[in-house]
Amino acid sequence: MGFYRNVKWIVSKLLPIFFKLEFIGFEKKVASGKGYIICCNHVSNLDSVAIAIKVDAEINFLGKAELFKNAFLAFAFRKLNVIPVTRGKGNSTALEKAVAVVKSGGVLGIFPEGTRSKDGKLKPPKSGAVFVALAAKADILPMGITFEKRWLKRSKIVVKCGEMIRYEDLMVKERTHSELRQASKFVMAKISELIG
């Protein structure tokens, strides 16, 4: 077993000790060998962990570059397939890596809001996920997370998996900023349906 699988196994045993976990909709089958993008709202530092322990494939998450400032953490995050993103900049390198992951049949995890929501309300989405989907001709799997009574022991984390969004259904033809923005809002609307 590799580093990712070992950490995943350990966390899958530890997390239920502290939180009640509920996964809904994960019985849906995803075509094997085809890369896709997981898009989810972002409410806590545990979001990526909760998703990863339920998804069979190794997920390559986009993560803020600040996570890589500490040498030990940088080593761990690279082993966990985290792609560093410098927020507030073009991030062409990060997007190129993200596209390459999906094109090669991998799974990419993106939080379209770009940052955590402290009150649980959805923030306006960035267009990175849609950009990658179009560049890689990949579908998007929306997920929604709700975290009740955050950080209290045995509070409940619910992760819902929606229906796959085909990249053709994003209705982007010219790839203008307006089209990318509308497509991103469409994806966020699907996430919103999952979190109620």
Indicate the pairing of strand 139-147 with strand 107-110. unpaired
Q: What pLDDT does residue 168 have?
A: 94
Neighbours of 133 (CB within 10 A): 26
The candidate with the shortest Cα–Cα distance to 35, out of 137, 111, 112, is 137
**Residue at 18: amino acid letter:** F
What are the backbone angles phi and psi of residue 47, rounded to the nearest 5°?
-55, -50
Q: What residue type is assigned to position 61 of the chain?
A: F
pLDDT at residue 196 tops 90: no
The whole-number pLDDT of residue 94 equals 92
The Cα–Cα gap between 62 and 177 comes to: 21
Q: Looking at residues 4-8, what average pLDDT do you find?
A: 96
Mapped onto helix, strand or coil, the DSSP state of residue 170 is: helix
Using the predicted structure, report yes or no on whether residue 25 has a pLDDT greater than 90. Answer: yes
Whose tokens are 């053709």? That residue is: 168
What is the reported pLDDT for 89?
63
Whether pLDDT at 52 is above 80: yes
Express each pLDDT in 56-114 by its tens digit: 999 999 999 998 999 999 999 999 999 999 876 666 889 999 999 999 999 999 999 99
164 φ, ψ (degrees, to nearest 5): -60, 135
CA distance 147 to 115: 16
Question: Using alpha carbons only, what angle is made at residue 136 by residues 134 and 142, rounded to the nearest 5 degrees?
Answer: 70
Q: Which of 29-43, 123-137, 171-185 has the lowest mean pLDDT?
A: 29-43
> What value does the mean pLDDT take over residues 117-141?
94
Contact 39, 191 (CB under 8 A): yes
Nearest to residue 148, comparing CAs of 192, 191, 195, 110?
A: 195
Compute the average pLDDT of residues 132-142.
96
CATH domain 3-195 topology: Glycerol-3-phosphate (1)-acyltransferase (3.40.1130)
pLDDT tens by residue, 139-187:
999 999 999 876 667 799 999 999 999 999 999 988 899 999 999 999 9
% of residues, the chain, pLDDT over 90: 81
Please tell me the predicted confidence (pLDDT) of residue 30. 78
Query: pTM, whole model, 2 decimals?
Result: 0.93
